[in-house]
Amino acid sequence: MRGPSPTSLVPFDPQATATLPTTNSLHADLRRDIIQLVLRPGQRLSENEIALRFGTSRAPVREAFIRLAEEGLIEVRPQRGSFVTRISIAAMQRARFVREAIELSVVRRAAEAGLSARTIEAVEQTIVDQEAANDDADRFTAADDGFHRALVEAIGIHQLWAVLEREKVQFDRVRFLSIGAATPVNVLVRQHRAILEAIRRQDPAAAEAAMRDHMAEVLTATRTLLALHPDLIVE
């Protein structure tokens, strides 16, 4: 039996292979699209369509879907398919509870130990970036994450930000939806400045109080968003 002629073989292209999306990159891209509401709550997700969009096979898409389901961002309905979950107030409240517990400890430790001039400058820059972003939710939330991450990393506990990233995914959807619509950005900026000022003064109690006030903002925003978007949020 004759094999294919040399001219019919497709040459191996290592560059093309290297650019194929992995499960990790697919998960990150889809996770971002869900958080930023590019993929809307209730929207049906097709493995075939996602694979076509990213130019890959269904296998890494299926693995990415499993991870997203574990995070509560999609649900698989037997005989019906996979759907983006609606924003769950209960899940968001759990995330807020975990995040508040960690971040109160972070600002207390930062205030007790003090921050370097370089770290304070970096945190200040994230606030400047928030002011420049204004109601651009994508830019604002990136700068907002930068503020919190800079404080977390300043206290030197390895992988603590990764823990927060896993826990706050539902919280993030509410935050993204609320920018400009339910939460004035100047309020968030003012709260961040209060947190940083308390840390700069090395006043742990004031730093905790300012962070607690900041964390409570999402509860006000959620009540507003529930009235504005009952199709996106479930109690």
Which CATH number belongs to the domain containing residue 200 in this structure? Answer: 1.20.120.530
Position 14 pLDDT exceeds 80: no
Q: Are 232 and 86 in contact (CB under 8 A)?
A: yes
What pLDDT is recorded for position 19? 60
Distance CA 85, CA 82 (A): 9
Which CATH number belongs to the domain containing residue 67 in this structure? Answer: 1.10.10.10
| Mean pLDDT on 29-53 | 92
Q: With 0-12 CB in 10 A as exposed, 13-18 as middle and 19+ as buried, what is 192?
A: buried
| Residue 26 domain-assigned (yes or no) | yes
**Model confidence pLDDT, tens digit, residues 114-132:** 999 999 999 999 999 999 9
Residues 147 and 215 both lie in one domain: yes
Distance CA 104, CA 194 (A): 14
84, 99, 132: which is the final residue of a domain?
A: 84
pLDDT level of residue 34 (50, 70, 90 thresholds): very high
45, 61, 84: which is the final residue of a domain?
A: 84
Residues 64 and 109 both lie in one domain: no
26, 59, 84: which is the final residue of a domain?
A: 84
Residues 76 and 100 both lie in one domain: no
What pLDDT is recorded for position 66? 93
| Residue 107 domain-assigned (yes or no) | yes
Please state whether the predicted TM-score (pTM) of the whole model is above 0.75: yes
Residues 55 and 140 both lie in one domain: no
Residues 112 and 221 both lie in one domain: yes
| Listed range (14-28, 103-117, 154-168, 192-206) with the worst mean pLDDT | 14-28
| Residue 102 domain-assigned (yes or no) | yes
| Residue 5 domain-assigned (yes or no) | no
Q: Give the C-alpha distances (Å, rounded to integers) separating 227 from 93, 114, 177, 183, 216.
A: 17, 42, 13, 14, 18
Residues 180 and 218 both lie in one domain: yes
Residues 127 and 185 both lie in one domain: yes
- How many separate domains does the chain show? 2
Residue 183 gets which letter from DSSP? B
Position 17 pLDDT exceeds 80: no
Q: What are φ and ψ of residue 38, in 5° steps?
A: -65, -40
pLDDT level of residue 3 (50, 70, 90 thresholds): very low
**Model confidence pLDDT, tens digit, residues 70-124:** 988 999 888 888 999 998 888 888 888 888 999 999 999 999 999 999 999 999 9
| Mean pLDDT on 5-30 | 61
Number of H helices, E strands in the chain: 11, 5
Residues 100 and 20 both lie in one domain: no
Residues 103 and 204 both lie in one domain: yes
| Residue 1 domain-assigned (yes or no) | no
Residues 63 and 122 both lie in one domain: no
Residues 65 and 160 both lie in one domain: no
pLDDT level of residue 7 (50, 70, 90 thresholds): very low
| Residue 2 domain-assigned (yes or no) | no
Q: Are 115 and 195 in contact (CB under 8 A)?
A: no
Q: Identify the helix (H) or strand (E) that includes residue 198.
A: helix 185-200
Structure tokens at 87: 């924003």
Q: Give the C-alpha distances (Å, rounded to integers) separating 103 from 107, 116, 139, 210.
A: 6, 19, 22, 11
Distance CA 165, CA 153 (A): 13
Mean pLDDT of the chain: 86
Structural domain range at position 226: 87-234
| Residue 205 domain-assigned (yes or no) | yes
As a dihedral over the C-alpha atoms of residue 57, residue 63, residue 67, residue 68, rounded to 10 degrees, the angle is 40
Residues 103 and 34 both lie in one domain: no
List alpha helices for 36-116, DSSP H.
Answer: 47-54, 58-70, 89-113
- Per DSSP bridges, beta strands 74-77 and 44-45 are unpaired
| Listed range (7-11, 52-56, 189-193) with the worst mean pLDDT | 7-11
Pick the more confident residue, 187 or 91. Answer: 187
| Residue 3 domain-assigned (yes or no) | no
